[in-house]
Amino acid sequence: MTKLTEHPFFKKVIKDAWSYWTGAMLLAVLNVSLLVVSGKPWGITGAFANWGSWIYRLLGGHPENWTYYAPGSSNAKDLLEQSFLTNNLSVQDIGIIFGALLAVLLASQFKIKKIKSWKQVVAAILGGLLMGYGARLAFGCNIGALFSGIASMSLHGWVFAVFIFLGAIAGSKLLVKYFMT
Amino acid sequence: MAEYRLDCLGEACPVPLLKTQKKIEGLKVGDVLIVEIDHSCAMKNVPEWARKVGYNVDIEEVEEGQWDVYIEKTK
């Protein structure tokens, strides 16, 4: 009898990476389901803005006066009436983290990676800040603005696509310059 | 028929692929390059690229979440 971990089905589904086609189909079906159930397409980074603003409010700040949280907008509702565990986007983000952990544990591929150089730390912090700032200006990240935007037949998703491509070219050049030496 | 190792542990995409491409350029036909990887998306694109170029590729999982990718420069 073959061991479970050597079974071809286990190897194909749990161990090996799925094909891009499988991933694309699943993302499409799941995004449609999410839209039907929650009334909004998939997004990720919108929740980060709320996390930061909730913390800022706890510390005595007033993010509700910011234009981003204009009175009556859905952003303002999320900020004032919801919390970490009742905000759809926040719960989805927690789901992504636990889902990814579950997948990597099932495949026995969990590993804590060492930080190789200070350059990685600087690049990660700078990159994270720039992407977060850009995502708020663009009303979404590559999921909320690009993926869900295009799926909703919105022009802004296509504009995002053109510029993320240009950004990726610039990013690759920087990467080769600073990380290939 | 020399054997070389390339340490790509802790490197994220696309750095392992770029380093592999650069390193293999300087190798002679028949040499083997062993790329050490612990980034699962590099596990997809490094072997994919090497096979597309026509090199022989073999993958060994050395521990949880870490692989040695053997690439033989065949031409």
Domain ranges of chain A: 113-181
Question: Distances from the Cα of A128 to the Cαs of A22, A123, A131, B6, B41, in angstroms?
Answer: 29, 8, 5, 28, 20
Instruction: List the B56-63 sheet strands across, edge first.
Output: B3-7, B32-37, B66-72, B56-63
Question: What band does B46 get if pLDDT is binned at 50, 70 and 90?
Answer: very high
Q: Summarize pLDDT for B61-72 with one digit per residue, the tens.
A: 999 999 999 999
Q: Looking at CA atoms only, how far is residue A75 from chain B in angstroms? A: 34
* Distance of alpha carbon B3 from alpha carbon B32, whole angstroms: 5
pTM for this entry: 0.83
Maximal CA-CA distance, chain B = 32
Q: What are phi and psi of A149, to 5 degrees?
A: -65, -50
Exposure string for A66-85, b = 16+ CB within 10 A, e = fewer: eeebeeeeebbebbeeeeee
The DSSP H or E segment spanning A149 is: helix A148-151
Nearest CA in chain A to B21: A180
Q: How many CB pairs under 8 A join A and B?
A: 40
Query: What pLDDT shows up at residue B52?
Result: 95
Q: Does B8 participate in catalysis according to the annotation?
A: no
Q: Does ipTM top 0.85?
A: no
